[in-house]
A = this chain, B = another copy of it.
Amino acid sequence: MNVQSLSDHSMAFPPTNQPPDTRSRILDAAARLFHEQGFNATGVSTILREAGVNPGSLYNLFPSKDALLAAVLERYTELLHPIVMEPVEKKTSDPIERVFALLQQYREWYSPLEFRLGCPIGNLALEVADSHPEIRPLIQQNFDGWSAYVRKWLDDAGDRLPRDLDRKQLAATVLTVMEGGLMQARSSRSAAAYDASVGQLRAYFDLLLARASAGRTQP
């Protein structure tokens, strides 16, 4: 879900032996720059330079900078599974561990950069949600897809979690922890608040698991 991953996969969907085409080069450059600098701070001319493309080519493929942003967010939706979720599901089959493997994955992506970047979706959510109404649904789609994976894992956990637990709400909270934690990590250039939040989430899960376990043995 970070820009490097997106670039790495620019040729992967569908896989091909050809050099990355213009559209992909533009999308990759735009995604990277929007992630690194934000949408408003990224000039179209910078995208063009980085993608090695002429203005006319870009505007043949995307009617506007806003439409390019929309395409970048569509691409993030496509890449949600292969880049974000698949590695996590390959790492562990325990549904609850998957939740924390996902949170750990973000830590591993961004701590080498000293949290200089943040979640590209979250960044855009705060930057353009108000000014670009047509973009909001695409951000929401990314958030919904992300939460849906977590929700499914929580469902997979079955009665290891309390029966009366609202798993949809908990899934939303996992996203909240990731986004709120990364925001503080970026501000402090330190993992502390992110780790703290994940730690408290882990403590919460432990209490839930204990309660469910008690409920199962002594109903």
Partner-B contacts on A (CB < 8 A): 36-38, 40-41, 116-118, 122-123, 125-127, 129-131, 136, 139-140, 143, 166, 168-170, 172-173, 175-181, 183-184, 186-189, 192-193, 196-197, 199-201, 203-204, 207-208, 211
A to B CB contacts below 8 Å, 26 in the list: A38-B131, A40-B41, A41-B131, A117-B130, A118-B126, A123-B127, A129-B186, A129-B187, A136-B187, A140-B188, A143-B184, A143-B188, A143-B193, A170-B200, A173-B197, A176-B180, A176-B183, A176-B184, A176-B197, A179-B180, A179-B183, A179-B184, A203-B204, A204-B204, A204-B207, A207-B207
Known: A40-B38, A126-B123. A196 touches B183 (CB 8 A): no
CB-CB under 8 A from A196, the residues of chain B are: 166, 168-170, 172-173, 176
A129 to B117, CA, bound (A): 9
Cα distance A74–B152 when bound, in Å?
43
- Could you tell me the distance between the alpha carbons of A36 and B127 in the complex, rounded to whole angstroms? 10
A192: chain B residues at CB < 8 Å are 172
Taking CB atoms, residues of chain B closer than 8 Å to A180 are 175-181, 183
Give every chain B residue within 8 A of A173 (Cβ-Cβ).
Answer: 177, 196-197, 200-201
Nearest CB in chain B: distance from A36 CB, A: 7
Q: State the CA gap A181–B175 with chains docked (Å).
A: 9
**A131 touching B207 in the complex, CB below 8 Å, given contacts A180-B183, A181-B180, A184-B176:** no
Contacts of A197 in B (CB 8 A): 169, 172-173, 176
Task: From B130, B176, B186, B208, give the contact of A176 (CB < 8 A).
Answer: B176
Shortest distance between the CB of A184 and any CB in chain B (Å): 6
Which of chain B's residues has its CB closest to A207's CB?
B207
- Nearest chain B CB to A175 CB, angstrom units: 7
Q: A177-B176, A178-B180 are in contact. Are A204 and B200 (CB under 8 A)?
A: yes
Residues on the B chain within 8 Å of A179, using CB: 179-180, 183-184
What is the bound-complex CA distance between A125 and B170, given in angstroms? Answer: 25
Would you call A166 and B199 a contact (CB within 8 A)?
Answer: yes
Shortest Cβ distance from residue A201 to the other chain B in the assembled complex, whole angstroms? 8
